[in-house]
């Protein structure tokens, strides 16, 4: 059986990805720092590991949980991520480092650790962001997500032909991450989305599931914008 490992699966987009992949017959290993991941996993009949993708101990725990599974890793979804928004002149170094360490460093470290264990025809899907094109107040986040695109392209070459590596770059999507933004800002962004609405987690999950599937077996090193056309 095929194992899909999804990070940041306790809520939001990661939860929707887990639900979608469960529907497609994958066995699931769900990863999150939050204890809520246990409940999510129980609801989906999945295994769970509470781990921080930005720490070596966290990576070791995820690899050990994958090793303990009777299924072979076939899909890794690097979805865990954080924001620490601030205007550039107010952004402290801790906020800069935390975002880059988790969003970029953690995703790369986990991919490197799991790659040797992944089966022929496997796939990695990274969650980048439309914000990599530039957003006021998201200097750190934009860098982390732009870096993830560079990593996607480099890893796509390094891990071929056994494993494909692609990225989904969501635009503004309804989740606790975006609910933390001031209402006026959210309204302004949603009004600028060409398809006329915010993304829903399942919009992103469907794009991830397709890139991870055999239907996308000739797609490697690519970035799929799931943002309702707001690539500006």
Q: How far is the CB of 189 from ligand NAD (least distance, A)?
A: 9
Interaction of residue 54 with ligand NAD, rule CB under 6 A: yes
| Near ligand NAD in 165-184, by CB under 6 A | 170, 172-173, 175-178
C-alpha to C-alpha distance for 147 and 133, rounded to whole angstroms: 11
CA distance 139 to 85: 8
User: Distance between alpha carbon 61 and the CA centroid of its chain, in Å?
Assistant: 18
Contact yes or no for 175/157 (Cβ under 8 A): no
Nearer to ligand NAD, 69 or 174 (CB): 174
| Nearest residue (CB) to ligand NAD, 99 versus 159 | 99
Q: Is 49 in the site for ligand NAD (CB under 6 A)?
A: no
- Sign (positive or negative) of CA dihedral 221, 201, 70, 51: positive
230 binds ligand NAD (CB under 6 A): no
Residue 109 Cβ, how far from ligand NAD at the closest point, in Å?
Answer: 11
* Residues whose CB falls within 8 Å of the CB of residue 118, separated by 6 or more in sequence, listed in order: 72, 73, 74, 76, 124, 162, 163
Q: Which two three-digit tokens encode residue 133?
A: 């094109």
Whole-number minimum distance, CB 176 to ligand NAD, in Å?
4
Point out which span in 62-70, 74-82, 117-125, 212-220 binds ligand NAD (CB under 6 A).
74-82
Whether 26 is a known active-site residue: answer: no
Question: What positions carry a catalytic annotation?
Answer: 141
């Amino acid at each position: 059986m095929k194992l899909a490992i999804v990070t940041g699966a306790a809520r939001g987009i990661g939860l929707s990805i887990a639900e979608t992949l469960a529907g497609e017959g994958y066995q699931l290993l769900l990863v999150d720092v939050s204890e809520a991941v246990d409940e999510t996993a129980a609801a989906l009949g999945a295994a769970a590991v509470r781990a921080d993708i930005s720490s070596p101990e966290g990576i070791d725990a995820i690899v050990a949980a994958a090793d303990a599974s009777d299924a072979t890793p076939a899909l890794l979804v690097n979805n865990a991520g954080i924001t620490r928004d601030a205007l550039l002149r107010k952004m402290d170094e801790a906020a800069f480092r935390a975002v880059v360490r988790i969003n970029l460093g953690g995703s790369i470290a986990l991919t490197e650790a799991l790659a040797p264990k992944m089966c022929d025809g496997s796939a990695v899907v990274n969650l980048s962001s439309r914000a990599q094109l530039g957003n006021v107040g998201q200097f750190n986040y934009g860098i982390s997500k732009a870096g993830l695109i560079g990593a996607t392209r480099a890893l796509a070459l390094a891990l071929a032909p056994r494993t494909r590596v692609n990225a989904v770059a969501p635009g503004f999507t309804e989740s606790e991450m975006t609910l933390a933004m001031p209402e006026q800002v959210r309204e302004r962004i949603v009004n600028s989305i060409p398809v006329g609405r915010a993304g829903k987690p399942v919009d992103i999950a469907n794009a991830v599931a397709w890139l991870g599937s055999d239907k996308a077996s000739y797609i490697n090193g690519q970035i799929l914008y799931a943002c309702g056309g707001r690539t500006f």
